[in-house]
Amino acid sequence: MVPNIKVIVVFLATLIGIFGCGHKIMEMETLQKRQTFGLKDVFFNDFLVGAAVNEQLISGKDSLALKLVASEYNSISPENVMKWMYIHPEPSLFNFEKADSYIDLGVKNNLYTLGHTLVWHSQAPDYLNKVNDSAALARYLENHITTLVTRYKGRIAAWDVVNEALNEDGSLRQSVFLKYLGEDYIKMAFELAEKADPGAHLIYNDYNLWKPEKRMGVVRLVKQLQDNGIKIDAVGLQGHWNLSEPSLADIEQSIVTFNELGLKVHFSELDISVLPNPWDLVGADISQNFDENSYMNPYPKSIPDSVQMALANRYQDIFRLFLKHRDKIDRVTFWGISDQGSWLNNWPIKGRVNYPLLFDRHFNPKMAYDSIVALKL
């Protein structure tokens, strides 16, 4: 039971007359709700609610964000501190200090703590990209996975074992891993992770899995692992979406498809861009960049109320779908705490200002926050 629920109810008739686009919010008959509970309490019986945390928060320097983690969420994911180039920059050197602090944050606050990510073609150290020998790469892979998973055994609840291994057509992405180890590198990674910590949940994580071709690529990957008796517990569906795409039907199809394989679904990196989509932008590949353009940065100071409402409607529709499939979903994680710290600022266009999360730049809950809470009240 959620304790001490206090809700300030404000009818929307005046607001609807002004903005003319709030029919979905009107169903709630509320505008602002200030609670003495957090998202983790609201959705306690449905799924975990998490947030990605950056180095500033982990170190304690971002005290406002840290306070929100403690009050709002029951799961955390590390934005960068556990990625290969930062935690394992040289073959014989591991930098555990920041990752250890991240783990301590999870333990202190009794959070479901994710490890992100063991194998990824991006943000890799130079020595990994310069390797030209399959035996050497296999040793690097084994050392990296075994060292990390063993060190955090029992404290990391789930690992993103392999991240973004597929192209948009569902084929395997060209990478140093595929080049020298072939398709078996994915099998190797999951086997090594399971051996190091049999109790951890093991996840394959990727973006654009609402698209049929890429989704079926993951289905083939999962079936190959399962046919070989290799443990995989869940698929992480990154939710780097916008106000119109993907459709709810496409999201729902992904949930159902992966659940039919006997897997749980984790929405691992949720944020909703309110800005125009740059030309030729595909998914969440961080290597993409575009020239600065005023059309692509329409809200450099703030967003109009009509866009706030559109974002609230979008989040409410998505969470209504999540609740429909609560039995299939283990976790919903927002990729960041507030708009100020979102990776979507300055990407894929330098200087761009985005507003994709539930908390604004001053760490106040937005209308989008109220819209999803209203689904449970």
Do you know the residue count of the chain?
377
d(CA 34, CA 267): 26
Bridge partners (DSSP) of residue 264 are 234
164 is catalytic: no
* 29 Cβ neighbours under 8 A, 6+ residues apart: 9, 11, 12
d(CA 39, CA 311): 18
**Eight-class DSSP state of 90:** B
Give the residue from 169, 170, 205 showing the smallest Cα distance to 190: 205
The H or E element containing residue 42 is helix 39-42
Exposure string of 36-55, with b = 16+ CB inside 10 Å and e = fewer, is ebbbbbbbbebbbbbbbbbb
d(CA 64, CA 240): 24
For the record, the structure tokens of 187 come out as 């099998």
d(CA 290, CA 319): 31
In Å, how far are 186, 297, 340, 352, 354 from 301, measured between CA atoms?
A: 44, 10, 12, 10, 10
Is residue 217 within 8 A of residue 169, CB to CB? The reply is: yes
Give the residue from 205, 263, 276 showing the smallest Cα distance to 237: 205
**Eight-class DSSP state of 63:** H
Is residue 42 within 8 A of residue 376, CB to CB? The reply is: yes
Is residue 325 within 8 A of residue 47, CB to CB? The reply is: no
Is residue 271 within 8 A of residue 356, CB to CB? The reply is: yes
Options 72, 164, 191, 269, the catalytic residue:
269
Is residue 365 within 8 A of residue 359, CB to CB? The reply is: yes
* Active site positions, annotated: 269
